[in-house]
Structure 1
Amino acid sequence: MATVKTQAHCLLAGAAAAAACAWPWAQASLAADFIHHTALAATIGGLADWWGVTALFKRPMGVNAPGTDVLRNNYERLTTGLADFVSNDLLTAENVMQAVGDENFAKLLLAHFAQQQNVERLWQTVRPLAEHALQSLNTRQAEQLLLQELPKYIASLRIPEILVDALQKAVANGSFNGLWQLAAQDSKQILHKAEFTALLEGLAQMAEEEYNKDSLLRNLFVSGQAAKLVPLFVQELEKTLDALADPASELRRQLDNWLLARMEDYRHDIAFADWLNGKLSQMATAKALAFKELLQTQDVDILLQLLQNRLQLLANSEVEQGKLDHALKELLLQVLTMQHDTVYDLVLHKLQSYDKDDLIAKMELRVGDDLQNIRKSGTCIGGLLGAVLFVIATLAERLVS
């Protein structure tokens, strides 16, 4: 099959041959004159496009005329311009993020690690690093640093103030209503237990005996009547518990106000802050030291198990996937923004690493057929315009004559 370049050559040669063959009879025959002028115009158009196409990549017929060998003479300018276009217009951070905006990076990551061979491949890479880190870990130094810095860090979090704010909002918003109702319900059940009733009756009997010795209130206690006070006492306690469970009661209002006031006192209580921070530091330190002991006694493969457990938790939570996807995209945006100049340098270095002649030859190979089609079109358009102009000129000549 003939190439497009060969077809363009043949078309140009055919036009030139037709013009040459028709020329001897052009003066004697209108048809030969028409063929001569049409083919001549096609030849001129084809030659012009051949010159232009060839001049892009080399010097036509070795002629070093202005505008020839365009790519080679402007190679540096073209490569820097292409690198600038790729980095500043094509591969900008905004364009890249727009292209990947609909992708869920978390789901892609989970799909990748859903295949066990990918997890194993990752672990083969990470395991030597983990073993080296574990072997070179100075646990004593880490423990000393932990014990020294962790209390400072926890104190800087201002957890007591955060806790007080949260509790105050909970009280103000009625979030403790369920707690008070549950406490009142459980307390009522205790009031009617036999053990509690027996306790109250015993206390009443002791009070009766005490008052009967020598008391202004002994007339209130008649022998055997003290136990009757127990149901009244239980009844009053039930009323108090009902008021405790009712958010609109005066008791609840006073209790909530008391809690809010006490919490505000705790906000500025240095002793409370020190106590809470100390407890939190002890808990965090205990967890960290327990993990240190675990690292010392367990094989490094425990980290692989932790990774797989984390991936499983991530797979079961859409919320966590959304957070991870957002974090990965934020990280990608930061990297693209920071490495903007690197993209330009990378593209420019890659272009400059090619041999100039090889790169121009590759470009010609890529677009050569399209350019040869321009030659074919130029030859045909030249012939068509030649024919039109010949017809116009002939008609004008006839009209003038």
Structure 2
Amino acid sequence: MRYTATGLLVAMAGVFTLAHFNEAAHPAWGYVLAFAEAAMVGGLADWFAVTALFRHPLGIPIPHTAIIPENKDRIADTMAGFLRDNFLTPLVVARRMRDMNLARAAGDFLIERREGEIGRIRAGAAELFVDLLESLDPERLGKQVRAGLAKQAEKIDVSPLLGKMLETSMADNRHRPLIDAMIRWAGLTLEDNEEMVRDMIQARANALLRWTGLDERLSNSVLDGLYRLLAEILVDPQHPLRGKVEEGLAKFAQDLQHDDEMRAKVERIKADMLANPALGEWWMGVWERLRHALIEMARNPQSAMAGQLGSSMQELGKTLREDPALQLQVNRLARRTLVGVAQRYGEQIVQLVSETVKRWDARTITGRIESAVGRDLQFIRINGTLVGGLVGVTIHALTQLF
């Protein structure tokens, strides 16, 4: 669409040139000339207006241009205020919830069947079980799980187990996504710290390089070389440096299984971890993995758990759909819960939106808004060109008449 709008403007310039040289040949060329001239003015004016929203036209810092990047923080605060005033105030939430029958909707969802033998109740049961697992307090149930796992971990020689896991992963090439992620992380880290790297290189450059300005070129060359190296490693599975990393991982896996010194070191680390109370959160991560495994079981429609929950949840769905008193209680609870969430956490949610937008760089927010508006921006230019031409030919016709 950008090419179309620009092409139309160029076409008007061509028509203007043609009409200018043939104006004396026939009075009709005067109308064509007026149309093309005004169309160019309208198209250029709307190009300037559209461009000024997102960037400086032609890179010239004209006042009141690049409006969105220059006012990014104010836009973020306005968006956050709009969200707060229209969605996250307790009064608004309560008013919107008053006309909603969530209980009946939940009952319909649980009972309604999908295509085939398995009803939506099966999937609904899985989701409800997921919600139950999500609601478990890790400080209560997780502590018991943590204590039991700690006792079992003391009895396990983890070094051979870790080595075998690493060796098996490498045999199945499952370690490559990890290496790819490390390379991407290195690239992003380098990108975030470009200025620091440039300063380090320039600080170590001699006076002659700084005087001639070659230190900046040197730092650019070093950074470009590092980016190119990371890109080559990422796209080339046979890259020599990737091979060196895999050799190191293979040796590490062997040492974990067969090197007594390495195994003793791993056992000391394990003992230190088990004795360190500051690593209690790590044990909670173990519980989280177990919980996710249970969630996966619940989401399997062929499992016994999903089937048992399905029967119970189907009865619950019928009750929710047919019992007005229960619907009233459930809807009231849901309304109070959501109103409480809005009242307690509304400001934090709004602040999260505002801070997220403020953290975006100008190029990011400009690109996202421009992409969201999309084709309509270019239609503004096209319409400006055509409307300008029509206004121009109208004015020309009026001048001829009067």
Q: TM-score, normalised by structure 1?
A: 0.47
Structure label with greater radius of gyration = 1
Q: TM-score, normalised by structure 2?
A: 0.47
